[in-house]
Amino acid sequence: MPSAIQTLTVDLGPRSYEILIGASILDQIGQRMKSCVRGQRVAVVSNTTVAPLHLHPVQTSLEEAGFFVTPIILPDGEIHKNWNTLQQIFDHLIANRFERADPLLALGGGVIGDMTGFAAACHLRGVPFVQIPTTLLAQVDASVGGKTGINHPLGKNLIGAFYQPSLVMIDIDTLTTLPLRERLAGFAEVIKYGILWDRELFMLLEERLGEILAGNAELLIQLLHRCCAIKAAIVTMDEREEGKRALLNLGHTFGHAIESLTGYDRWLHGEAVAAGMVTAAHLATRIGLCPPEEAARMHALIQRCGLPTQLPNFPVDHYLEAMTHDKKVSGGRIRFILPERIGHTIVRSDLSTQLLRATLEANMEPSAQPTTKGYS
């Protein structure tokens, strides 16, 4: 049964757009897109995993609404978030003479969303794009706010553009096919909003995690709405990350280093962010910023979600080197987002290398082999 659709607006003047959240709503995408894009042709960008599961209702709805649809099916995985894969999108658009008003539609997780958005930003100097995120992580974070891009071997998401979608449609039914490990990784970003912005959200998670993980649809929609509302509010305040938006990177400085050191194929993004947030909380405690009992609650909730809380074992120098390639480095100094307490975070860029070394060493798995315990 289709549920009532919850709607949110990301208010960015001429670049404003709606986020639609509901269950069993994919069959409405055609009509919804008609009201926000002009072109007649839609390139649906998806991958070899998601397309067989979810392309059919999307394509049918678009065709019933009068669009001519061509799918672009990419290989699956973070390791393919690169120039070669991007080129496949451009090859298709150019060979098929896609015009400026013809939209791209991203159907998939954050990897597909980020690449499709970047292709849309570049093709003919900018064409409309729409997001249908199909992972929890992409539904609460990656599909909203207009960060698009690809990875470079030396660092994550280093090549990209701020480019807002015209519409985001979130259908929680797509999550029924998502593997458990991926779903849990998405909870890292949900917990992130609680730590960085919304103490009540954090407490709701502490109290009702069991119900949420068991798949309570009403609660899940409520949670998605709350996360998207926080993201929309922050992006509205600071679209291009000149201030408050940096807070959304809580856990990412350490997290991106993990992803880079493990070659983007051993740790999921959400898992890396989870261990990164715990490490950031340790760092904050070490400098007397965050009370230990608050950090312990963060650690406990992340652990209850089955997410990693320790960094994989690499030499500390490798971490320090990887962290200097982070986008948040400014004036050569690494910027850290640190929790002061649950619901409030700040940015610090004045931390000594000695302190970082000690924090990294203290929160590293003892094993000599990098491993995501329990996930292999």
Q: Of the ranges 120-128, 141-149, 200-208, 312-320, which one interacts with ligand GLY (CB under 6 A)?
A: 141-149
Stretch that binds ligand GLY, among 29-37, 140-148, 261-269, 308-316 (CB under 6 A): 140-148
Residue of 81, 147, 183, 335 with catalytic role? 147
Task: Tell me the residue nearest to ligand NAD as measured from the CB.
Answer: 110
Among ligand GLY, ligand NAD, none, what binds residue 245 when CB lies within 5 to 8 Å by partner kind?
Answer: ligand GLY
**Terminal C-alpha separation, the chain:** 36
Q: How near is the Cβ of 100 to ligand GLY at its closest, in Å?
A: 26
76 binds ligand NAD (CB under 6 A): yes
Q: Which residues contact 291 (CB under 8 A, 6 or more apart)?
A: 285, 341
Closest of 326, 286, 281, 324 to residue 301, by C-alpha: 281
Tell me the backbone φ, ψ of residue 161, rounded to 5 degrees. -150, 155
Is 252 part of the annotated catalytic residue set?
yes
Which of 370, 263, 271, 262 has the alpha carbon at shortest distance from 313? 370
Cβ neighbors of 141 (< 8 A, separation 6 or more) are: 110, 189, 192, 227, 231, 248
Q: Using CB distances below 5 to 8 A depending on partner kind, what does residue 160 bind out of ligand GLY, ligand NAD, none?
A: none
Q: How far is CA 198 from CA 145, 149, 245, 280, 309, in A?
A: 18, 28, 15, 17, 21
Q: Would you list the DSSP string of 86-108?
A: HHHHHHHHHHTT--TTPPEEEEE
Please identify which residue in 145, 186, 255, 308 interacts with ligand GLY, judged by CB under 6 A: 145
Stretch that binds ligand NAD, among 5-13, 137-145, 198-206, 302-310 (CB under 6 A): 137-145
d(CA 50, CA 360): 36
User: Of 47 and 372, which CB lies nearer to ligand NAD in the complex structure?
Assistant: 47
Among 248, 257, 275, 356, interactor with ligand GLY by CB under 6 A: 248
Please give the full DSSP string across 137-165, using - where no structure is assigned.
HIIIIITSS-EEEEEETTEEEEEEEE---
Give residues 28-67 in contact with ligand NAD (rule: CB under 6 A): 47, 49-50, 53
- Residue 145 or 276: the one with the smaller Cβ distance to ligand GLY is 145
Q: Is residue 335 part of the contact set for ligand GLY (CB under 6 A)?
A: no
d(CA 116, CA 142): 12
137 binds ligand NAD (CB under 6 A): yes
Out of 32, 192, 252, 335, the active site residue is: 252
Count Cα atoms within 13 angstroms, Cβ side, for 234.
23
| Shortest reach from residue 245's CB to ligand GLY, in Å | 5
Token pair for residue 244? 């408050």
The dihedral through the CA atoms of 326, 331, 332, 338 has a sign that is: negative
Concerning whether 99 is annotated as a catalytic residue, the answer is no
What DSSP state is assigned to residue 289? S
Instruction: Tell whether residue 245 is a contact of ligand GLY (CB under 6 A).
Output: yes
Q: Which of 157, 249, 253, 309 binds ligand NAD (CB under 6 A)?
A: 157
- Of residues 257-286, which lie at the interface with ligand NAD (CB under 6 A)? 268-270
Nearest-5° Cα angle at 321, 288 to 251: 45
Residue 138 interacting partner from ligand NAD, ligand GLY, none (CB closer than 5 to 8 Å by kind):
ligand NAD
| Positions that interact with ligand NAD (CB under 6 A) | 47, 49-50, 53, 76, 78, 81, 108-112, 114, 134-135, 137-138, 141-142, 145, 147, 157, 174, 177-178, 182, 185, 268-270
Active-site amino acid positions: 125, 147, 189, 231, 241, 245, 249, 252, 256, 269
| Positions that interact with ligand GLY (CB under 6 A) | 141, 145, 147, 245, 248-249
